[in-house]
Amino acid sequence: MLADMKTAIYCRTSTNKQDKGLESQVRYLSDHCNQKGMNNFLTYSDFGISGKKSSRPGLNKLMSDTRSGKIKTIIVYSFSRFARSTQHLLQALEEFNRLDVTFISVSENIDTNTPMGKAMFTIISALAQLERELIVERVKLGLANAKAKGKKLGRSKTRDSDLIQELRLQGYSYRKIAQFAKCSISTVHRELSVPKVQI
């Protein structure tokens, strides 16, 4: 039964011509699970879907089951098969950490349930936080420079509209933008629902 499943493997190929590639990933990860004594696992997969797509049926189902507590261990062949970008990977790892879910990438030999894996996660998270802070600082510096040159950046609002717009262009989620801009997610929605001001 699904309720008894606690381990999941996720596989993906970019094109529908890679059916053998998907099959080999499933076989490899299945063998890995069996060797580790994890014989009761679910398989999630996306066939012929680019890793750059933000929405993938197999991955969406995996994340939904993980958030509902049905999955406690996720195993992938490599980071590239799972995440569409470094930012996406880091966001997923942070969420798995909050949910107490173990993430294993076989080819990179990363297991977030081991001391080395936990240390790697801490390092990656620290670097990601530094990168986010640097991005916010660069955006603010650029906006300040534009204002100093007399460029009109839009109506005066309590929310930092320009920062919100720029972070969205950088690909950040509404939740992350709300954190950086120190506002609610609904405020981010309101800001991004209106046309951007042209500078």
From 14, 30, 78, 125, active-site residue: 14
Report the Cα 27 to chain-centroid distance in Å. 25
Look at residue 48 and give its three-state secondary structure.
coil
How deeply is 28 buried, as exposed, middle or buried, from its count of CB atoms within 10 A (0-12, 13-18, 19+)? middle
Torsion of CA 69, 71, 73, 78, to 10 degrees: -120
Closest CA to 135 of 192, 87, 82, 195: 87
Helix, strand, coil percentages for the chain (3-state, nearest 5): 55, 10, 35
Quick count: other Cβ atoms within 10 Å of Cβ 155? 7
Check if 125 is active-site: no
The residues that are catalytic are: 14
